[in-house]
A and B are shown apart, each in its own frame.
Chain A
């Protein structure tokens, strides 16, 4: 009744439209209250940005070897030189190569008298952006020399460049894995919740079983059974699928329990009484109600899959060179001796920690926001 009166008043322009916040707006307001969730979102945005524009942001291409700077540490970008003179244009100190008189190994020495100024938007090694556009423009380069922000590995490959490219692969493994898990969880959980009874019982036992099995040994064992002669792309797909195979259980449980609870709600009954078909009830009334919970579960599943992939690749049972993921990069840092010589090889690990932290922050914020009506 009132709504009709309001509608007429609105139409005649006598009343201002009442302020109505949509469900998503309510969620966003609630989400915004979590400062860490906002921080997490910013961190994720930066990671995704560097993953998307990895080729452009990196000074070289990942396979490029710098023979003048083998297994050497990160090069700092400076604004002040040794005498504290300010340089408006940032620079790195030049490096010269010497031979160690005893071991005859090539050594890279800092030459503090010479500067290599940093340049932006420079033409360098050619690459195909997203595999589509031929170009050779890189964000930064050092004029007259080279710049390795995170140092180089044994073969003289730029760790910064490889880390950026690995970010792309690692995040995509997480994304594809979560997508697999999402589909599996939604379908299986949906079946359990919709049919109930015997089928539900069987599926719940299966989930309980999977969750009581130690996952990492199982993941390891499964990936060890992959044929050795597979191409790296096949391995990539198989590994993501293996990760999803065990990660879907949380999602399935959420879908099932929400379906079971929502089936009994008044609004479902109302919809049924007004003659909605089952499909319409599921899609129009039930799905939107638990969509937010599924998104929360996906955010929580993401770091798990990320960590699992990193662990697998680190042990040499996951992705392999030439595919680069954070775990593949960390594979080079497997023993204490190489870490003691080249601690910068652990930098990709820092990215793993940051990514997982970011996802956990975002997940926490989302968990609260998923039910915007609770106090």
Chain B
């Protein structure tokens, strides 16, 4: 078991390294560097920039050096000092910008995960036990539609309905009066009132998918001989269901927890943009549209890092849940 954990840990570190390379390649990829696009902007604004000034920017950003030195500098600054580079667009350090908005993204992601699993596990098991019942069909239909609606469309529709029916804007995470207020209990309540919309938007497709998986894997288990044996032995139906088939059926669900997290993190930026949440989404899109690549690359790295750590945690959970993996390598 310890070997398995070490194995996964080493793999996680390697993946993180690989992701940081990808993020760095992304930073380097746009033709022309930041200095060029900045010069371009100044040109358009009618205040052309001087060549010396351009060189100064290049020197300060270190973009006159070869790429491996830049990568080495970038990664060592990040690991050692938590410095992720400088966003010229915002004229602030990237790490500050991200740190400001990341908590909300994480809050959103975890609320969504909790909602997804909290809804999907009972519904999935119920649909499997009552296969082809009316409720099963209703959930299947809702699930199909939930899978087919793009996140942003669902967000748009909910916002439209919210405006038509309640006459309030459902965008953002706070009402105007709480926007800049210090943290207090009413502000938390206000946040919760706003948070459910993006959580529903983000969670719908994932929940639909999870329900289908749980339903299918529970159905597989229900047909097995040991279930029949236990039933013949006189175990009460509920106890039997929860103790054996459900426990088995949960394995693939836990194993893919990392992918679910990936999925939620992946959808978060677009929902953030559409609903104009004060999270990392709009920041990310803005950075991309302006090719502010240090910020964009840093965000890609952060998004990836969270999903990779999530995968690692789901691996650990699987070890706790499934004795077969715990025993691996011991025999």
Contact = CB atoms under 8 A, between A and B. Distances in A.
Interface residues of A, number: 39
Among A213, A316, A357, the most chain B Cβ lie within 10 Å of the Cβ of A213
A357 B304 contact: no
B228 interface: no
Contacts of A343: 160
Nearest to B15: A209
By Cβ-Cβ distance, the 9 closest A-B pairs, closest first, are A214-B266, A224-B288, A356-B148, A225-B29, A216-B266, A357-B148, A349-B153, A225-B30, A214-B265
Interface of A: 209, 211-218, 220-222, 224-225, 227, 303, 307, 310-311, 314-317, 330, 333-334, 336, 339-340, 343, 346, 349, 352-354, 356-357, 360-361
A153 B254 CA distance: 47
Contact of B300 (A217, A303, A339, A357): A217
Interface residues of B, number: 50
Contacts of A224: 30, 288-289, 291, 296
Contacts of A214: 262-263, 265-266, 303-304, 307
B303 A311 contact: no
Contact of A212 (B30, B171, B258, B274): B258
Given A217-B300, A360-B144, A212 B307 contact: yes
A221 B26 CA distance: 7
Nearest to B12: A212
A235 B271 CA distance: 24
B153 A336 contact: no
B26 A222 contact: yes
B270 A221 contact: no
A353 B149 contact: yes
Interface string B297-312: 1011001100110010
A308 to B, nearest CB: 9
Contacts of B303: 214, 217
A311 B15 CA distance: 27
Contacts of A360: 144, 147-148
A42 B182 CA distance: 56
A75 to B, nearest CB: 21
5 contacts: A217-B299, A227-B31, A303-B148, A314-B152, A346-B153
B211 to A, nearest CB: 14
B117 interface: no
A340 B160 contact: yes
Interface in B256-277: 258-259, 262-263, 265-267, 269-270, 273-274
Contact of A339 (B22, B156, B296): B156
Nearest to A352: B150
Contacts of A346: 153, 156-157, 160
Contacts of A213: 19, 22, 262, 304, 307
